[in-house]
Amino acid sequence: MTHVDGLSQAFSAAARKDFGPLTSTPPDPASNQQSVFPPEWRDDMRRHVHDLADSWDDDAAWEGMTQAGGVELPAEIMGMVALSELVLHGWDIARAAGISFDVPDEILQVVFDFHFPPQPQDERDGMFGPVVEVPDDAPLADRLAGLTGRDPRWSRTTAQN
């Protein structure tokens, strides 16, 4: 949850070209280990994710160069990375919470196309695990999960067995 909240803030700043600590610092993996959240975490995350969407809704966000996580990229690529992060971590959270993952196929296809064909594994390390084979006729969400190293068959109940 802290990763999604942090990336929402960083990619919002990247869209606005508001460079500073939010955009110049790589994510701290230790900060993702938080087990106790402040009471207002849901409202904060909702606000930050909405701000992310609003920030990238501005045409200027997609122009020029920008920075997030200490990485500088063309804004059009950074916007795709932000979308990918939200979709993929949305899948992670939905699976972990045991809730449905309802993202329109139009969005899933954009993210799938962004990651296909997959990079060699040595270039994916640290971002994605090995590709999980999924049938070509499987739902797009499952194919995207497999492409990005997630097992679409995973659920809370299979993890507990």
Spatial CA neighbour of 44 closest among 82, 15, 73, 8 = 8
pLDDT of residue 32: 65
pLDDT of residue 31: 67
Alpha-carbon distance 140 to 106, whole Å?
Answer: 10
Give 10-residue mean pLDDT values along the chain (161 residues): 91 98 85 77 94 98 97 98 97 94 97 96 93 97 98 85 65
Alpha-carbon distance 118 to 130, whole Å?
Answer: 10
pLDDT of residue 159: 75
pLDDT of residue 17: 98
pLDDT of residue 26: 87
Alpha-carbon distance 41 to 1, whole Å?
Answer: 9
